[in-house]
Structure 1
Amino acid sequence: DIVIGRVLWQEWSEYWPAAESDFFADFINPAAKHVIASTLDGVLGWNSTLIDGDPVGYVRTLRAGDGGGITVAGGIETIRSLFLAGVVDALTLTVHPAVTGEGRRLFDETVPVTRLRLVDHAITPAGNAMLTYALRD
Structure 2
Amino acid sequence: MRKVTAGLFHSVDGVVQDPFKFQFDSFDEDLGKGLTKMINTVDTVVLGRVSYQEWAQYWPNASRDEDFAAFINPVEKFVASRSLDGPLEWENSHLIEGDVEEFVSDLKSRDGGEIAVCGSISLVRQLFFAGVLDELTLMTHPVIAGNGRRIFEEGDPVHRLVLEDQYATSKGNVVTTYSLRKD
Normalization by structure 2: what TM-score? 0.65
Structure-2 change in CA distance of 1:62 and 1:96 (3 Å): same
After superposition, give the CA deviation of every residue in 1:52-110 in whole Å (9 maximum; x if it has no partner).
11000000110000022111113221111111111011112233454320112212232
Tell me if structure 2 keeps the 8 A contact 1:7–1:75: yes
> Which protein has greater RCO, CA pairs closer than 8 Å, 6+ apart?
2
5+ long unaligned stretches in structure 1? none
5+ long unaligned stretches in structure 2? 1-43
Q: In structure 2, what is the Cα distance between the partners aligned to 1:127 and 1:47?
A: 36
Q: Displacement, 1:43?
A: 0.9
Alignment of 1:76-91 (within 5 A): 76-91=121-136
Aligned to 1:26: 70
Q: Displacement, 1:127?
A: 7.5
Q: Provide runs of 4+ in structure 1 moved above 4 Å.
A: 120-124, 126-130
Alignment of 1:6-25 (within 5 A): 6-20=49-63, 22-25=66-69
SS at match of 2:101: helix
Q: Kindly indicate whether residue 79 of structure 2 is the aligned counterpart of residue 35 of structure 1.
A: yes
Aligned-pair Cα RMSD in Å: 2.3
106-115 or 61-70, which moves further after superposition? 106-115
Tell me if structure 1 keeps the 8 A contact 2:159–2:181: no
Aligned to 2:161: 115
SS at match of 2:113: coil
Identity level (%): 46
Q: Displacement, 1:37?
A: 0.4
Match of 2:116 among 71, 86, 93: 71
Q: Displacement, 1:128?
A: 5.7
Tell me if structure 1 keeps the 8 A contact 2:141–2:174: yes
Q: Displacement, 1:119?
A: 2.2
Normalization by structure 1: what TM-score? 0.84
Which residue identity lines up with residue 54 of structure 2 in the other structure? E
Which residue identity lines up with residue 82 of structure 1 in the other structure? L
